[in-house]
Amino acid sequence: MSDLQTILIQVSGPDEPGISAGVLAVLDRVGAQVLDIEQLVIRRRLTLGLLVAVPPNQDALKELLLFGWEHGLTVHFEVIEDDDPTIEGPGEGPSEDRHVVTLVGSQLTPAELLAATQAIADGGGNIDRIFRLSRFPVMSYELTVAGGDGDRIRVALLAAASRFPGMDVALQREGLTRQTKRLVVLDVDSTLIRNEVIDLLADEAGSGPEVAAITAAAMAGQLDFAESLEQRVATLAGLDAAAVQRAQSRLELTAGARTFIRTLHRLGFVTAIVSGGFTVFTEPLCAELGIHYGQANVLEERDGVLTGRLVPPIVDRAAKATFLQEVAESEGLSLEQTVAVGDGANDLDMLRVAGHGIAFNAKPMVNEVADTALTVPYLDAVLFLLGIRRGDIEREEIRDVDGLS
């Protein structure tokens, strides 16, 4: 390529069909070689960048200027004297040197975005690309970062997030591992649903305040889960099927839960729920939402009445982690391909073993262990951590309504 000149071409202006094709047609006519190309459209305004090698003393630049004038575009040229065509562009190079940062918040103000981008720079990272994932129900952006020290970037991002409680941040390695996530395992109480099911049953049994106090201590890690669960279940002795059905009728799905599960299924994900609660709640949830796997504790009953005891074994934090591993194995997936979402101490082991552990509106001790902590109240915000855009979700929703898919 010693007889060719390397030029960076930047085209900007109003977008319309055929702009990219027209630019490339000019380059083809003059015998240029395209070394790299990037394009972005924001609010119908185009930014197109091309790195090209062109023969000297030819009219490519004049033709491009004429094309730009005809279409109301600004065309800028820069001669690259020291360009090495082997240098990797965005999306290339070893995955160890690349990360994805996801920012989620109700607004994401300039100050919040400044804090996040400065944190990346402080960690030695360079932002290759920024694009919006969503503006409803929350704002979210994905930033592709090249270079830097992942641990330093993570620490800096967490420090930035601590200064802005309305901003959640996630740092993940870019590469095939992130792109091949295929199993999502969710906790149920205060994650998939807003309720704590033991509290719903306790209200029916008249032991609500007693059970609520034990539940709070157990979820904060202050009590042994199995022992505390047996204490709470003992207060339910004598409840009949009608009382259980009344408790079931009070279940409230977390905002965005249906969209979350439906979108995962469209994308071919396997979904599972695992709960320290009870099968009388999880089995109807699996049937209603089409969830593939479920595991929970079984309430012992006799003649249609709860005895106040559990049928062993008890689903505790270790059992949750084992369940995730067993589902992954049965689906032929590695643990790196799994995502776990939970909020309490009972979810800690599951979050640790998953490829990506997400604390969802969780207790402080859970936030410290999880790979990512989300504080927004919408479960479908987890989709943005997987790189899924809100616009794509909405288009699929419309296709379903129109009967096209």
- Bridge partners (DSSP) of residue 340 are 185, 357
Query: Over the chain (405 residues), what is each successive 10-residue block's mean pLDDT?
Result: 81 93 90 89 90 78 90 92 56 67 95 96 94 93 94 95 94 88 97 96 94 79 84 96 96 97 96 97 98 98 96 96 98 97 95 98 93 96 96 78 46
Enumerate the CATH 3.30.70.260 domain ranges in the chain, comma separated. 5-79, 95-176
Using DSSP, state whether 258 is helix, strand or coil: helix
Structure tokens belonging to residue 313: 């074994």
The pLDDT, as a whole number, for residue 1 is 47
The pLDDT, as a whole number, for residue 89 is 53
The pLDDT, as a whole number, for residue 292 is 98
How far apart CA 193 and CA 197 sit, in angstroms, is 9
Q: May I ask the CATH architecture of the domain 5-79?
A: 2-Layer Sandwich (3.30)
**Which residues are part of the catalytic machinery?**
187, 189
How far apart CA 402 and CA 405 sit, in angstroms, is 8
pLDDT tens digits for range 125-170 = 999 999 999 998 999 999 999 999 999 999 999 999 999 999 999 9
Among residues 28, 11, 27, the alpha carbon closest in space to that of 70 is found at: 11
Domain 95-176 grouped into CATH 3.30.70.260 = yes
Among residues 323, 66, 339, 56, the alpha carbon closest in space to that of 181 is found at: 339
CATH superfamily, domain 184-195+237-394, is: HAD superfamily/HAD-like (3.40.50.1000)
How far apart CA 300 and CA 312 sit, in angstroms, is 9
DSSP notation for 245-271: HHHHTT--BPTTHHHHHHHHHHTT-EE
The pLDDT, as a whole number, for residue 315 is 97
The pLDDT, as a whole number, for residue 395 is 81
Enumerate the CATH 3.40.50.1000 domain ranges in the chain, comma separated. 184-195+237-394
Structure tokens belonging to residue 80: 């690259």
> What's the pTM?
0.86
